[in-house]
Structure 1
Amino acid sequence: MSVGVLAHLFGSLPYKELAPKVAEKGFAHVQLALWKAISDIDFSKPGNLSPGLASAIGEQFDRNGVSISVLGCYVHLFDRNEDVRRANVNRFKELLRYAKQFGAPMVAAETGRNEGGDYTERDWAVMKSTLEELAEEAERWGVYVGLEAADRHLIGTAPELARMLEEVRSSMVGVVIDPGNLLNEANFARQNEVIEEAFELLGDRIIAAHAKDRILLPDGSLSTMPAGFGEMNYELYMKLLNRCKPHVHIVMEEAKEHQMAHSKSYIEGIRSRV
């Protein structure tokens, strides 16, 4: 269960500079979002990938002792504009096709969100159709779709993600667990219950984990912090993660470069004793 990092926390860099920088900070794997992390190739739209390009990027990381544990795909998967949704689905499918050349076992995303959180049954049906299409593509290429619940998104809770997994029955769709994404101002005081529920409902489907922290501010708002800088119950999180999915990849979020060593050590310290 090694601790990796979001590649774009180092900024957007040429990939031959990014890989050694990740290694210098002591990380053995990354979540790589191409258009967020790589500056010297235009990934602003689908179509530029090839087996050669994907292999070149993957090999550059490998030469520096860093694997790509997750390909991140930050797109809206049920967008009400069908042209936009179709473009987003195609982008996700392109990553699925080339994931193995990167050395990545999965492509992961949240569902997307509408401003105001005005979700309808039609939104759910569109998301289900999207996931069915992505699952079919994932099965074709032997790569996982990682789906993450996030507060205020269409799939914002562990029960909602469990429902979607029940409706789309594919062994190639798994869960990226992130308790920090399940917490909000209303449920933070009972965070243990929220975390335990997530593992009860989703534990056997986890294929990767994210690590951020949350803290309740004096004004009552909930802020996001790097791991070890907040008030989330990491003892419980790591204990349940160790129990359900030993050696699962953990990807750190939020940390700035000067905070990374502290957060990594914090996670590893708790993980080693629970």
Structure 2
Amino acid sequence: MKLGIFAKTFEGSDPETVLRSVADAGFACAQYNMACSGLAAMPDAISEEQACSVAAAAKASGIEIVAVSGTYNMIHPDLAVREAGHRRLAVLAERCASMSTGLVTLCTGTRDPLDQWKEHPDNNSPEAWRDLLDAMETAVEIAERFDVDLGIEPELANVVNSAAKARRLINELKSPRIKIVLDPANLFEVETLEEQRTIVSQAIDLLGDRIVMAHAKDRTQDGRFATAGKGVLDYVYYLRKLAEIGFGGSLVTHGLSAQEAPGVATFLKTSLVGARR
């Protein structure tokens, strides 16, 4: 597995500065965010020059751009907000090839009007699922047009809040463009070690044929998010289960400070060694 990190962990508004920081911290790849180019995360426009500068910086720093973040609230209660997100997704997807990547990560969304990562009771409604299908069909059309894949991530606060719902979405859309970004810390809050392992194992078994990226953060004992290695997630078990399905993609950490990054790189390397035993 290749070790990676969210590029926006590091300060900077030009790709060369940011990606050199990624390399210096001990990582081989990055999930890019257009904020690292001094733009909005989902810009209304990206010039060819701006896109090519990402690829040039990646080559100069030896960092692979394994994905670019394209998150917007796909089931926002205001249809106009969703439509603006679709337009910006097309802008991003059109420039992916020039940025030397072929994967855009998405947010399946929430009915919360202010925070796309906040749970809402209507997320489990049939209407929310219908709206997600409509939004994903639009996203798949964009992905086909620009030859990119779309990474969705099961997340407790979003409409796709479990591995089972992610599988349902894959089955209903029937598009090979839909891939999975798996973050086990997004699948539980407070569970026993055995319950946690069961959740992780079942998710990998159910989604293994679509997993293209693994995320790495953690949970504290009381359910809060934490830096990878600072919580209760059994990383050796998680990485061993990924290895058992032949996963050889990127393991991308996030939710940490730039100062913590070198230590997390060391922790993940150690965990990968442990998973092979």
User: What secondary structure sits across from 1:31 in the alignment?
Assistant: strand
Query: Given the alignment of the two structures, is residue 91 of structure 1 paired with residue 59 of structure 2, yes or no?
Result: no
- The 2-side partners of 1:79 and 1:163 are apart by 20
- The 2-side partners of 1:257 and 1:110 are apart by 24
The aligned runs of 1:22-171 (5 Å cut-off) are 22-35=22-35, 37-39=36-38, 42-43=39-40, 46-115=43-112, 116-119=120-123, 120-171=125-176
- The 2-side partners of 1:44 and 1:239 are apart by 33
Percent identity over the alignment is: 24
Task: Report deviation, 1:246.
Answer: 3.1
Relative distance call for 1:187 and 1:174 in structure 2 (3 A) is farther
* CA RMSD of superposed structures (Å): 1.8
Gaps of 5+ in 2: 113-119
The aligned runs of 1:223-242 (5 Å cut-off) are 223-242=224-243
User: What secondary structure sits across from 1:19 in the alignment?
Assistant: helix
- The 2-side partners of 1:202 and 1:102 are apart by 28
- 146-155 or 242-251, which moves further after superposition? 242-251
User: What secondary structure sits across from 1:110 in the alignment?
Assistant: coil
Return the TM-score normalized by structure 2.
0.90
The aligned length equals 267
Task: Report deviation, 1:52.
Answer: 2.7
The aligned runs of 1:189-208 (5 Å cut-off) are 190-208=195-213
Task: Report deviation, 1:88.
Answer: 0.7
Opposite residue 184 of structure 2, the aligned amino acid is: P
Query: Given the alignment of the two structures, is residue 10 of structure 1 paired with residue 3 of structure 2, yes or no?
Result: no
Task: Report deviation, 1:187.
Answer: 7.3
- 48-57 or 96-105, which moves further after superposition? 48-57
- The 2-side partners of 1:187 and 1:92 are apart by 39
Contact 2:122 2:128 in 1 (8 A): no
User: What secondary structure sits across from 1:87 in the alignment?
Assistant: helix
Task: Report deviation, 1:258.
Answer: 2.3
Task: Report deviation, 1:129.
Answer: 1.2
CA deviation map 1:70-116 (0-9, x unaligned) = 10122101112011000011111221221111111200022122343
Contact 1:178 1:210 in 2 (8 A): yes
